[in-house]
Amino acid sequence: QVQLVESGGGLVQPGGSLRLSCAASETVFSVAVMGWYRQAPGKERELVARLISADRPTYADSAKGRFTISRDSAKNTVYLQMNSLKPEDTAVYYCNALYYGYNYFGQGTQVTVSS
């Protein structure tokens, strides 16, 4: 069973920063391609960032230059550092593991960017 546990969401003002964390089991983390998706109200879930390997992150155009995905193998944790946040970044953010061809998602964490 693949379990992904996110944390770090919250309310932040425009221009602020947040760091999301996602912990997985060692078995999953050592094999899966880890990433982050988000879903805003009334919109489809979209890929924000994915870490093909430690030196091969990919980002949605909306995230480039502002978000950074990284991983800590010692903690089996993937992070999403979000800077220069905008109101349009408001969404539920989901940790994702692409594990043996199947997509798994965490429970989601709310990020609200508002003054």
Q: Which residues pair with 92 in a beta bridge?
A: 39, 110
How is the chain split among helix, strand and coil, in percent rounded to 5?
5, 50, 45
DSSP letters spanning 65-115: TTEEEEEETTTTEEEEEE-S--GGG-EEEEEEEEETTEEEE---EEEEE--
pLDDT for residue 53: 73
Cα-based torsion angle of the residue sequence 33, 49, 25, 73 in order, rounded to the nearest 10 degrees = 90
Q: pLDDT at position 18, please?
A: 98
pLDDT in tens, 17-50: 999 999 999 898 888 999 999 999 999 999 999 9
What is d(CA 88, CA 107) in angstroms, rounded to the nearest whole number?
21
The percentage of the chain sitting over the pLDDT mark of 90, rounded to a whole number, equals 90
DSSP 28: H
Which segments of the chain does DSSP mark as H helices, in order? 26-29
Maximum distance among all Cα pairs of the chain, rounded to whole angstroms: 42
95 touches 66 (CB < 8 A): no
Each residue of 52-81: pLDDT tens digit? Answer: 876 789 999 999 999 999 999 999 999 999
Query: What's the gap between Cα 20 and its chain centre?
Result: 6
pLDDT digits (tens, 9 = 90+) for 77-94: 999 999 999 999 999 999
Q: What is the pLDDT of residue 1?
A: 82
Mean confidence (pLDDT) of the chain:
95
